[in-house]
Chain A
Amino acid sequence: MSASGWLRLPAPLARMGPGPRRPAALLSPGAGVAAVQVAGKKDRPALLPLDEGELEEQFVKGHGPGGQATNKTSNCVVLKHLPSGLVVKCHQTRSVDQNRKLARKILQEKVDIFYNGEDSPAHREKREAEKKKQERKKRAKETLEKKKRLKELWASSTHVHGETPGGSG
Chain B
Amino acid sequence: MERWGGMLRVLLSGPGWRGGTGSRAFSSWRRHLPQAGLSATELVNEWTAVFEKEGVPEARESSEYIVAHVLGAKTFQSLRPALRRQPLTPAQLRCIRELSGHRLRRLWHRHPPSYPLGRMPVQYILGEWDFQGLSLKMAPPVFIPRPETEELVEWVLEEVAPRPRAAEPQGGPLILEVGCGSGAISLSLLSHLPQSRAIAVDKGAAAVCLTRENAQRLRLQDRIHIVPLDVTSEGSWAHLLPWGPLDLIVSNPPYVFRQDMEQLAPEIRSYEDPAALDGGEKGMDIIERILALAPRLLKDSGSIFLEVDPRHPELVGGWLQSRPDLSLQLVAVRRDFCGRPRFLHVRRSGAPDGRPVDVQPGPLPAGAPG
With CB as the reference atom, state the residue of chain A lying closest to B149: A67
Report yes or no: B339 in contact with A21, Cβ–Cβ below 8 A: no
A72 CB–B CB distance under 8 Å: yes
Q: Chain B residues near A1 (CB, 8 Å)? A: 58, 60-61
With A65-B309, A65-B310, A92-B78 known to touch, is A24 a contact of B158 (CB < 8 Å)?
A: yes
Q: Chain B residues near A30 (CB, 8 Å)? A: 365
Produce 1/0 per residue, B357-370, CB < 8 A to A.
00001101100101
Report yes or no: A25 in contact with B159, Cβ–Cβ below 8 A: yes
B254 CB–A CB distance under 8 Å: yes
Report yes or no: A69 in contact with B264, Cβ–Cβ below 8 A: yes
**18 new A-B pairs (CB below 8 Å) besides A69-B263, A72-B58?**
A1-B61, A14-B154, A15-B157, A21-B158, A21-B161, A25-B158, A27-B362, A65-B311, A66-B340, A68-B254, A68-B255, A70-B265, A70-B268, A71-B268, A73-B61, A94-B130, A97-B151, A100-B337
Q: Chain B residues near A65 (CB, 8 Å)? A: 260, 309-311, 340, 370
Q: Chain B residues near A93 (CB, 8 Å)? A: 74-75, 78, 130, 133
A37 CB–B CB distance under 8 Å: no
A75 CB–B CB distance under 8 Å: yes
Produce 1/0 per residue, A1-21, CB < 8 A to B.
100000101010011000001
Partner of A64, one of B263, B272, B277, B361: B263
Interface residues of B in 69-123 (CB under 8 A from A): 74-78, 121-123
B3 CB–A CB distance under 8 Å: no
Q: Chain A residues near B75 (CB, 8 Å)? A: 91-94
B225 CB–A CB distance under 8 Å: no
Give the complex CA separation of A61 and B155 in angstroms.
Answer: 21
Q: Chain A residues near B345 (CB, 8 Å)? A: 25
B31 CB–A CB distance under 8 Å: no
Q: Chain A residues near B309 (CB, 8 Å)? A: 65, 67-69
Pick out which of these stretches binds chain A: B170-178, B215-223, B226-234, B327-335. Answer: B327-335
Main secondary structure of the interface of A (DSSP, over half): loop
Q: Chain B residues near A9 (CB, 8 Å)? A: 337, 339
With CB as the reference atom, state the residue of chain B lying closest to A30: B365
Report yes or no: A98 in contact with B133, Cβ–Cβ below 8 A: yes
Give the complex CA separation of A30 and B334 in angstroms.
Answer: 11
Partner of B338, one of A14, A66, A73: A66
Report A16 CB to chain B, min CB distance, Å: 12
B252 CB–A CB distance under 8 Å: yes
Q: Chain B residues near A134 (CB, 8 Å)? A: none
Report yes or no: B159 in contact with A24, Cβ–Cβ below 8 A: yes
With A26-B334, A28-B365 known to touch, is A94 a contact of B129 (CB < 8 Å)?
A: yes
Produce 1/0 per residue, B119-147, CB < 8 A to A.
00111000001111100000000011011
Give the complex CA separation of A29 and B123 in angstroms.
Answer: 29
Produce 1/0 per residue, B231-272, CB < 8 A to A.
000000000000000000000101110001001110110001
Give the complex CA separation of A144 and B352 in angstroms.
Answer: 74
Q: Chain A residues near B267 (CB, 8 Å)? A: 71
Q: Chain B residues near A164 (CB, 8 Å)? A: none
Write 10 A-B pairs (CB below 8 A) sorted by A numbering: A7-B339, A11-B335, A21-B157, A22-B158, A25-B334, A65-B340, A65-B370, A66-B310, A72-B58, A73-B121
Report yes or no: A96 in contact with B129, Cβ–Cβ below 8 A: no
Produce 1/0 per residue, A71-104, CB < 8 A to B.
1111110000000000000111111111010000
Report yes or no: A73 in contact with B122, Cβ–Cβ below 8 A: yes
Report yes or no: B133 in contact with A95, Cβ–Cβ below 8 A: yes
Q: Chain A residues near B132 (CB, 8 Å)? A: 95, 97
B65 CB–A CB distance under 8 Å: yes
Q: Please indicate which of the listed interface residues B129, B146, B332 has the most CB atoms of chain A within 10 Å of its own CB.
A: B146
